[in-house]
Structure 1
């Protein structure tokens, strides 16, 4: 086999994307034949040279893996997050082999994310040189003026340089807002949001219905599916990795709608899902326990919220038990008298005294 650049070999082997492979080389984490390499452009022969990353041998897989994830809002498309937020890879726990997301989708955006170990395809889809078009549906406040949409197509100047949309059009009218369809040719940071803000549009929601010609139709937020052989073939044709005429992408009418949102926060990744209940149904242990301890169902709403990973925070950040206790101490509505009665002018009257000696209003 002919020699090729080290970063290309690492990407094609599924270690990471080509850009990240360059960072690994510059950081001194890659060795070729036991010699550390820090020079970009170093060439290797995959059949003869021994390449390792952090001591682990790198070899090309016999077959590549391709998965499409419906990334939920409140999730980052990185391998790890220092803030402990859910990542796209968390939703693919249990998938054999090592895959990585192609490009990025904003933390609060949702929609199609491709994960693969095919580094060459990832590079072609992510690099603007190859002309891969990215389609977004953007929910904006009110009814945007036609002039604002035209300005996005003509181009605006952002803090990191000029930018423009390849296509902009009204997609669908909602009750109080409008969905517009925006097509761009690069994956610059927050590009679509900044284009909208530059022409005075307030973004309410950002949804990517497809990527590489494959839509999230049939998927729910936080779920994924493997791509078919035909989908992979067409995707590789679109970026020039395989010969033949690529099939056209999904038409405007075929673009799926964003999923309805229920509650707050992203769905819990599979690795974080609690164990199922002992009765073998879909209720988890926390829900079953809540129903057993609270037969009248007063606490079932909280248990359901915990199961979805979107429990709503209590008012003023207080746990429910502490709020109830505060009402009892303050003599609020429905408060039960404490044994022995309340001391005159004490807890029930003017509230508790704070550390500084002043009075503190009871929590409501």
Structure 2
């Protein structure tokens, strides 16, 4: 068995938010990569109808600039939550499991997805009963929902957002099975804490159930939560590569099973048009989607809010400046990300 008896019963809703967020983000970019024509238009309208629209950004929103949407760059905020309800307003009091800054390059042909550790110890502005001060980043979501999380992240990064998305419902194993499994190459050995399964360093073919079990490992992975983030990135990349390699992007209807469930997972900022996003990101290929994590110096900082992550202030400041200047790809090339635990 993978987990305690209730594992299969809980399904996707019990899964970590980083899985949900990345699954949905992958689906978004796959939609953006569909071939042009009537079939694509029909699918986009279908998925648009399955998404919810809410006020997610508030004052953290970048004023709408039509030219920016035509030529870039663009910055999106992606949050993952364990929400059980249909509305973003139901998220109040909960903490966001995943916080990602998605940067689309000026030419709209590259995307950089920067994970900001949810336990980063940062300044969280006042909201509700919270008087303001240092706290874990994901607490901002609990204090004031997505708009307050966006305000806090803008204060940290200096980035104002052109759009935002919340992921709250999907299924990783169904997506892996929809592409008939994935091949993942692991730079270290991972031992399951749910079964006797061991993934030795090297390449492995995973079906949906096994991919889910692999992505949920934390205790026996180098770097703990950071290792788990790295492993789920490997699976997400593998799905994108499998889709592209088998020509699914040239046949939109083959993607329907993969995308329809993911579309239902989305709450989109009311000012973000899915069809507009498709048009601006249509040239982004899977190999041009890069993942990164904000540099940190300690994953076990002792604070009044419990154990937190201490960001590397100098390097984080440089990284955020590179996002704002649209030089993040060059910055990452000059500052290669280390493997978790190294």
Give TM-score scaled by structure 2 length.
0.24
Q: Which has the higher contact order (CA 8 A, sep 6+)?
A: 2
- What TM-score results when the alignment is normalised by the length of structure 1? 0.23
